Amino acid sequence: MNRSVPVELAGFTELFRDLEEYVVSLDRVLSRIGAGEDPRILLEYVVEYGLPARLARAREFVGDALEQVIGAEALEEIAEHIEGYRDRK
């Protein structure tokens, strides 16, 4: 399957900018934790920079573009097969 997904340039640029920030910031935070700093700095980063809302916005942007090409049912099928965090209980 070699189909193209049309995306708005401004939205795609914003998505890239956000992803770049997350990669760089998480690398810095995890390096500091590895060097002995309090692991709560990760939570501080996530909360202070609004990562949950920003990631949801990125997912919506990508999902909307994919849905135009593969359809809502195929997108839902992808979403149903994710590997996410699970409680260790």
Give the chain's residues under pLDDT 70.
Answer: 1-2
Residue 2, pLDDT score: 63
pLDDT at 1: 59
Instruction: Evaluate whether residue 63 is within a structural domain.
Output: yes
Structure tokens at 78: 């992808």
**Which pLDDT value is given to residue 15?**
96
For 54, phi and psi rounded to 5 degrees? -70, -40
What is the number of other CB atoms lying within 10 angstroms of the CB of residue 15? 19
pLDDT at 4: 86
**pLDDT score, position 81:** 92
Q: What domain range is 46 assigned to? A: 9-80
Our count of domains for the chain comes to 1
- Give the start-end residues of each E strand in the chain: none
**Residue 21: predicted pLDDT:** 97
Instruction: Decide if 38 is inside a domain.
Output: yes
pLDDT score of 86: 86
Residue type, 64: D
